[in-house]
Structure 1
């Protein structure tokens, strides 16, 4: 028997115990009602014994009631099968006593013994051995009732016939219970398999959704690359022409003698240089090698940081960004992907701080070498992340933003990017004070 099957049977027994507890409580109340309603039979069949039988029936019902009350205790819940077996025998003892007190093997109450046997096998989730034991106990009680009858056994053939019928009922009920128990376990097994399949399907769907998000991200990068390639040719030439014209204009005597013109041309020149930097940053995506390994290209992390700051300048408006980097930041990896990770971290931090109305919003980027890896820390002074959300920030499609403001894939994809570089992206936060994201990149050998 495999360990999984052993575990399945253990879980099945736990669930079956709860089901037996429920059946025992419901069945006990039903039996009490039927025992008391049997007074009508006493009135029809044995009216002269009605009062005595009524007292016995009430005593039996009270005893069953006590047994049911015990099921509400911790001990009763633990031994529900034994308690149920005992209170089920109480009606059999009562009927057997009535057989003894009336006509012995000639009493009509023997039919009640058979009905109870079938009821136990059909209505209660008893085991085959328990049902068989209940049947043998009933046969024994019937034998004692007839044998102890004041007149003894008057009609041996009738007694033997009824005894055999009761035994057949017990045997048939046990066989039915055996197959019913197997069928119940099979249904539980199928339900468990379906639950596992559903879990696997949910995980597969989640993985597919994550892959889809990554593909969408790659498609966006490819689109940026295509656009950048065009920009390199279409923008660089007119920008260079404008810079040359600005240089010439700044040499004009009128400009040299006009502070306002010099300031205007200087601002225009800086704007043109900014355009050059942005186009240069976009070149990273334009000439990115598709399918290249994550750790096969050396690049300066400082340069990637500069690019990410320029490309996320719109989101970083009003945010003070500081840095603390070592002199050497040469690492191995996918520069475009790392720029994407930094842009995502900056954008998330800026959005959270703007949304929370953080006074003097700041982002500090620090890095240091440890064990041949550059460990990077991106920390903000924003509202922080709640503890229940901190453990889920890297889950695909998990987001605290409003509907339509994000898919919840940015950090999940960033996590995969850093993992692809042999590192780990993890978050720390103090609610209401700060949030920090940490990752590491390999050094160039």
Structure 2
């Protein structure tokens, strides 16, 4: 059998009922005991007898009060509330039966109970009507079986009509209270939804703001780098031409030291030229659909490794590539993602102070995609932090060491490429980031 679903309103109303039922039960138990002062002045000859009645009723109500703290009490709060509400009415009716019947002053107590229930307790209209009907029935029975008899006692009929009036007023109050609770819940639910929407909007705005800041920064760097790289490339080319010409001179063949110096200079200039080429690729970013073009992932990995070279000092970086690494995407953006992953991996490895620090970049062929993984043997990521690493502005580094936007931006870039940047980690052992790209 399918379990019945509980609406948020019913769950909240159950909390109200339990809370108010507890408060009402303990208050009623105390009032029942305090009523002994009425017995003292009204029926002093029955003081002991009525004291026992009151103590017994108070203990019974207190027992229900204790049960309300259990799971059973919470589940059956409505029935238990009606039970303890009935106890004082039955006690009063019994006192009316034992004393003066329709002339008994305790008749007033029945009215007070009905008004209190209608105004305070969160019961339904039908429960309120049922409570009023019970009160009327026990009153009529008490008067009818009183030793003086009811007969055609006009006072009993008059009091019964007053009880009907009180029961009606109590039911009306109950109806308005129920309507007000419904309205209150609707407003609370609406406010809760609006708060969630506002939080989501603020989170989205914070993420967009962070991305805009990062893009503006990268655009400024790109504009500045374009001119610098152009100016830097010219002297590099001149220097390479001069070195190549110098290496053709006959003197170089006879002077080993000169030849070695020229070879070292040429290697250094080649390295500068590669860095300039990598920076050109990374600096001239053109976001948008048109930037998704075929490129060699191998070249992107090599460029990212060179550009992150400062962070990777002293770390063994192993690269495992398949033969064909042609993919479709935004090459500068993917280089940026790889730089960020390599930089974070280097930070983790340096923090762990491994004897053999290692970062592995592995590219595997899938059916129509290439899977890229960057794995380090650093500190790992704590379990409680793992789910937050892609949040904007979240960082575990020291203040001033980063904005916490790198992984968030990388996640968005990989999403734009139809994939998901995933992270797996074992605290204190390793961390691995993976994503995949479409093959051409």
What range describes the TM-score normalised by the shorter chain of this pair? over 0.9
3-state SS of 1:378 partner: strand
In structure 2, which of residues 101, 104, 108 is the aligned counterpart of residue 107 of structure 1?
Answer: 104
Aligned partner of 1:298 in structure 2 is: 294
Aligned partner of 2:80 in structure 1 is: 83
Alignment check: 8 A CA contact 2:361 2:373 kept? yes
Q: Which moved more, 1:92-101 or 1:112-121?
A: 92-101
Distance in 2, matches of 1:71 and 1:115, equals 24
Q: Give the TM-score, by structure 2 length.
A: 0.92
Any idea what the Cα deviations from partners look like across 1:285-317, whole Å, max 9, x if unmatched? 44333434453x111111111111111111111
Aligned partner of 2:427 in structure 1 is: 431
Q: Is residue 330 of structure 2 the alignment partner of residue 334 of structure 1?
A: yes
Change in 2 beyond 3 A, CA 1:285/1:323? closer
In structure 2, which of residues 269, 277, 300 is the aligned counterpart of residue 280 of structure 1?
Answer: 277
Alignment check: 8 A CA contact 2:312 2:346 kept? yes
Any idea what the Cα deviations from partners look like across 1:133-170, whole Å, max 9, x if unmatched? 00110011111111111112377332222211111111
3-state SS of 1:384 partner: coil
Any idea what the Cα deviations from partners look like across 1:266-301, whole Å, max 9, x if unmatched? 444433333222221121244333434453x11111
Any idea what the Cα deviations from partners look like across 1:322-362, whole Å, max 9, x if unmatched? 11112221211100000011001101100011112122111
3-state SS of 2:7 partner: helix
Alignment check: 8 A CA contact 1:95 1:109 kept? yes
Q: Which moved more, 1:248-257 or 1:323-332?
A: 248-257
Aligned positions of 1:14-163 closer than 5 A = 14-153=11-150, 156-163=153-160
Q: Is residue 223 of structure 2 the alignment partner of residue 242 of structure 1?
A: no
Distance in 2, matches of 1:402 and 1:282, equals 28
Change in 2 beyond 3 A, CA 1:89/1:360? same
Aligned positions of 1:271-420 closer than 5 A = 271-293=268-290, 295=292, 297-420=293-416
Q: Which moved more, 1:138-147 or 1:11-20?
A: 11-20
Distance in 2, matches of 1:38 and 1:28, equals 15
Distance in 2, matches of 1:293 and 1:67, equals 73
Alignment RMSD (CA, Å): 2.3
Q: Is residue 225 of structure 2 the alignment partner of residue 228 of structure 1?
A: yes
Aligned partner of 2:212 in structure 1 is: 215
Offset, 1:389: 3.0
Unaligned runs of 5+ in 2: none
Q: Give the TM-score, by structure 1 length.
A: 0.91
Instruction: Flag as ranges the 4+ runs of structure 1 deviating above 6 A.
Output: 251-258
Distance in 2, matches of 1:161 and 1:128, equals 25
Any idea what the Cα deviations from partners look like across 1:100-124, whole Å, max 9, x if unmatched? 2222111111111100011111221
Tell me the number of residue pairs that the alignment of Structure 1 and Structure 2 aligns: 437
Alignment check: 8 A CA contact 1:228 1:279 kept? no
Distance in 1, matches of 2:168 and 2:291, equals 72
Distance in 2, matches of 1:211 and 1:19, equals 42
Offset, 1:420: 1.4
Unaligned runs of 5+ in 1: 1-5
